[in-house]
Structures are given as structure tokens and as C-alpha cells.
């Protein structure tokens, strides 16, 4: 199958994420996306309550539980979007340019209200990792009193999505949190994530929360 042409693909992505793609669910009410997933508004009070329940039932497991949830959602999302692409006569996500997959996940984050996501591919070719920066994070806003990084679900979502796209086992870890202040020259508060093979990220895990995100990224470039 020939690669998608530059004029048709953006309009198809727009169709997947446009407001008109949200359709009323006939029986249960509410809205469903074009991939069939329900759209649910999650209040900050609900996030607080969920976190309290998880801490009460599984102390110290909040990040693990949310990360696993996000990873499962990311794989399901990628598979659903892939079905839509194939139905439109486009190649599956694994055969799409990486920039197309980046655009898809960035649009998904904005549409679902997780925050404004921007992926940086500049280190992918030379160092084997991708940097993601998330501003206006839902979890940072909803859980301002949390002591640890709170974006385990978006981190898992990125991991699951790109595992489906690449067909490889990946890891995604948050190395910087918006509530700790923006890195120099970053243009505003954001959370920073790194996506790469698990063995590449293993050496930097002890640095998380101890060193600024820019310092950790520099270590990966050595």
C-alpha cells in the first residue's frame, strides 16, 4: 500500500478528533468518540476520592495502578485509531510516519482533557529516546497537594500507545513535574516524560525527583 499523501491525512485526523466526531450514545446517554469510547467528565473531587481509595486499599500503589491503567488505555486507543485508519484506506499505524502518530496522540490528549502534549523527536535518531512535555496537566491541577509526581496515567498512556505503534516493549517515565517549576528556557510549567527502551531508562531512574529534568535528559545523551 502506498504511503498516505500529505493532503488527505490531516483532514482524516481532523475528522477523528473534530467536535462532530462526538456522538450521543443511543442507550446509555453521554457521548462516544468516533472510536466508540465513552467520553466522561472526571471532576477534581472524583480524582481526590479515587486517590484516597487507592491509597487506603493499596498504600503506595497509586502510580503503579494509574500507570497500568494508562498503558492498557494507550494500547486500546492505538488499536482503535488504527482500525479507523485502515477503514479509510490508510496503512496501519506501524507503517505511518512517526510524525503522524505524534499528531494523533497530541490531539487525543487535548480532546480528552489530559493537557497540552508536545513530543520532541530530536533525540530519537541519535540517542534512541523521545521527550514528551505536558502542560496544563489534569492531574497536576486536580491533585495539587500530592507529594509525588501525579501523571502516571498519561505516562502509561504514552507507553501503551507507542508500544502498539512500534511493536516493541517500551518504557515511559516522568522525569520532571510542573509543580516544581519550569526548566530554564522551557517557556512555562510542564511535566516532562521520556519514552525509550526499558534498558536505556533504567540508569536514570534513581535520579528522578533528585535532579532537574534537563539534567536527566543530558545524562541520556552521554
**How distant, in Å, are the alpha carbons of 45, 81, 90, 199 from that of 129?**
35, 23, 27, 11
Q: Say whether pTM exceeds 0.85.
A: no
Second CATH level (architecture) for the domain 8-220: 2-Layer Sandwich (3.30)
Separation between Cα atoms, residue 69 and residue 176, nearest integer Å = 21
Separation between Cα atoms, residue 182 and residue 95, nearest integer Å = 35
Helices then strands, counting H and E runs in the chain, come out as: 9, 7
Query: What's the pLDDT at 187?
Result: 54
Going by pLDDT thresholds of 50, 70 and 90, the confidence category of residue 20 is: very low
Q: What is the mean pLDDT of residues 95-103?
A: 93
Give burial (CB, 10 Å; 0-12/13-18/19+) of 191. Answer: buried
Going by pLDDT thresholds of 50, 70 and 90, the confidence category of residue 27 is: low
Separation between Cα atoms, residue 8 and residue 14, nearest integer Å = 10
Would you say residue 130 has pLDDT above 60? yes
Sheet holding 171-176, edge to edge: 116-120, 130-135, 191-196, 171-176
DSSP codes joined into one string, 150-187:
--HHHHHHHHHHHHHHHSS--EEEEEE-GGG-PPTTSS
Query: What's the pLDDT at 184?
Result: 45
Query: What's the pLDDT at 160?
Result: 98
Percent of the chain with pLDDT over 70: 77
Classified as helix, coil or strand, 53 is helix
- What dihedral do alpha carbons 14, 18, 24, 28 form, nearest 10°? 80
Task: Retrieve residue 111's grid coordinates.
Answer: 480532546
Amino acid at each position: 500500500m502506498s504511503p498516505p499523501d500529505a493532503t488527505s491525512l490531516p483532514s482524516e485526523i481532523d475528522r477523528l478528533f473534530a467536535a462532530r466526531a462526538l456522538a450521543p450514545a443511543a442507550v446509555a446517554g453521554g457521548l462516544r468518540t468516533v472510536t466508540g469510547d465513552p467520553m466522561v467528565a472526571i471532576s477534581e473531587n472524583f480524582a481526590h476520592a479515587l486517590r484516597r481509595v487507592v491509597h487506603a486499599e493499596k498504600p503506595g500503589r497509586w502510580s503503579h495502578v494509574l500507570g497500568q491503567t494508562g498503558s492498557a488505555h494507550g494500547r486500546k486507543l492505538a488499536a482503535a485509531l488504527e482500525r479507523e485508519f485502515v477503514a479509510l484506506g490508510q496503512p496501519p499505524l506501524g507503517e505511518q510516519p512517526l510524525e503522524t502518530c505524534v499528531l494523533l496522540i497530541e490531539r487525543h490528549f487535548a480532546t480528552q482533557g489530559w493537557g497540552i502534549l508536545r513530543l520532541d523527536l530530536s533525540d530519537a535518531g541519535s540517542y534512541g529516546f523521545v521527550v514528551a512535555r505536558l502542560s496544563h496537566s489534569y492531574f497536576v491541577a486536580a491533585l495539587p497537594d500530592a507529594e509525588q509526581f501525579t501523571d502516571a496515567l498519561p505516562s502509561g498512556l504514552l507507553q501503551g500507545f507507542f508500544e502498539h505503534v512500534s511493536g516493541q516493549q517500551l518504557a515511559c517515565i516522568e522525569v520532571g513535574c510542573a509543580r516544581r517549576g519550569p526548566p530554564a528556557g522551557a517557556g512555562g510549567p510542564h511535566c516532562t516524560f521520556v519514552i525509550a527502551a526499558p534498558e536505556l531508562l533504567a540508569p536514570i531512574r534513581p535520579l528522578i525527583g533528585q535532579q532537574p529534568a534537563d539534567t536527566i535528559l543530558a545524562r541520556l545523551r552521554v
